[in-house]
Amino acid sequence: MTMTPRYINLGSHGFTSTEDKYVDWSTRKYFENSIKNLGDMDVNVMNLETVVLAEGFHFLEGPRWRDGWLWVSDLVDRKVYRISLEGTVEFVVDVPGRPSGLGFLPDDTPLVVSMRDRKLYRIRKAELELHADLSTLTVDELNDMVVDEMGRAYVGCYGFETPVTGRRREGSLLLVEPTGTAKTVQTGLEFPNGCLIFSDGRRLVLAETFGRRLTAFDITDDGRLGERSLFADLGKICPDGICQDTEGGVWVAAAERPEFVRVLEGGRVTHRIRTPGRQAVACQLGGPDGQILFCLTAEEAFEDVAGCAATARVETVRIMPP
């Protein structure tokens, strides 16, 4: 059945796979097997011209749209930036512990995850203020984060060990209250990564990268998570960053693959944005009407070494109304 695309891709990116320090050899093979099966889904493929909004970064993660700006974390450069729709880049703050997930409290105060020291910080006037010390709740590095309208932050912990042992541990999800108190609300996760909260605030969807799935949880009144359920089995796709559109579809950055896909609950992939020559890392919807998809891409996989090539960039996809 031929589908009529409702999305126009203004971006065509690229991908190169190189050895990195994020994963051990077994994990690298896991991703490589995923790449080999790139063309096994019958979906619409859109390959139009690229629109680059901003470039010259090292490795971007955690995109969030707020009040006319796209906020991003550069993991290698260890800085947070914000980018306007005109491509103006402004420095926000240095995060020595390596920044990742971003979010905002109800009073618009930005929050940033500091991965290596396992802390959550508020950002005020280009300075970091401790919001929560999560080091007693996990021995793993922190990762992505989503913050709800009440200021409750859900922070993922990787839950795996890199090359020396080759062992994998299950990951977890932490809840940080607006007051800074924190607790573990979910365990047994297979590399928790991108996360989102539905517009009604009652449901959280999490990308489990090693599980190749999107997992959903009902959110209780006190912020705890109910029983997990399968939102989408992604088959060969290992999800990284995710975001939701107004129709209930979830846009997924396919980790270590040159594409972003849109998936519905139940697992049907409706649209694909291929990014040849570049890996898809994360995505976020924004713009004046919420119809611009910001795609974070890079030529190389993450390398935490000084002076690594600044190949990361932000590219845009315009989503047409149905």
CA 199, 204, 209, 212 torsion-angle sign: negative
81-112 pLDDT, tens per residue?
999 999 999 999 999 999 999 999 999 999 99
Which backbone phi and psi does 87 adopt, to 5 degrees? 90, 10
SS3 36: helix
Share of the chain above pLDDT 90, in %: 68
CA distances from 89 to 11, 20, 86, 240, 270 (A): 19, 27, 9, 24, 33
At a CB cut-off of 8 Å and minimum separation 6, what does 273 contact? 7, 9, 11, 12, 46, 259, 260, 261, 293, 295, 317
pLDDT of residue 82: 98
254-299 pLDDT, tens per residue?
987 889 999 999 999 988 888 888 999 999 999 999 999 999 999 8
Domain 7-319 belongs to what topology?
Answer: Neuraminidase (2.120.10)
Contact 305, 22 (CB under 8 A): no
Q: Which structure tokens are listed for 144?
A: 């992505």
Alpha helices in the chain (DSSP H): 25-36
DSSP β-ladder status, 44-46 and 269-274: parallel
Which stretch of DSSP H or E encloses residue 38?
none
Structural domain spans, the chain: 7-319
Q: How far apart are CA 127 and CA 277, in angstroms?
A: 36
138-151 pLDDT, tens per residue?
999 999 999 999 99
Quickly list DSSP for 188-216: EESSEEEEEE-TTSSEEEEEETTTTEEEE
Q: Residue 174's CB: how many other CB atoms inside 10 A?
A: 23
Which backbone phi and psi does 32 adopt, to 5 degrees? -60, -40
Instruction: Rounding to the nearest 10 degrees, give the CA dihedral for residues 17, 22, 100, 215.
Output: 90
- How confident is the prediction along the chain (322 residues), in pLDDT tens digits per residue? 222 223 323 232 222 233 233 333 333 444 444 444 444 444 454 444 559 999 999 999 999 999 999 999 999 999 999 999 999 999 999 999 999 999 999 999 999 999 999 999 999 999 999 999 999 999 999 999 999 999 999 999 987 655 555 667 799 999 999 999 999 999 999 999 999 999 899 999 999 999 999 999 999 999 999 999 999 999 999 999 999 999 999 999 998 788 999 999 999 998 888 888 899 999 999 999 999 999 999 986 655 445 668 899 999 988 764 4
Q: How far apart are CA 144 and CA 241, in angstroms?
A: 8
Q: How far apart are CA 159 and CA 153, in angstroms?
A: 19
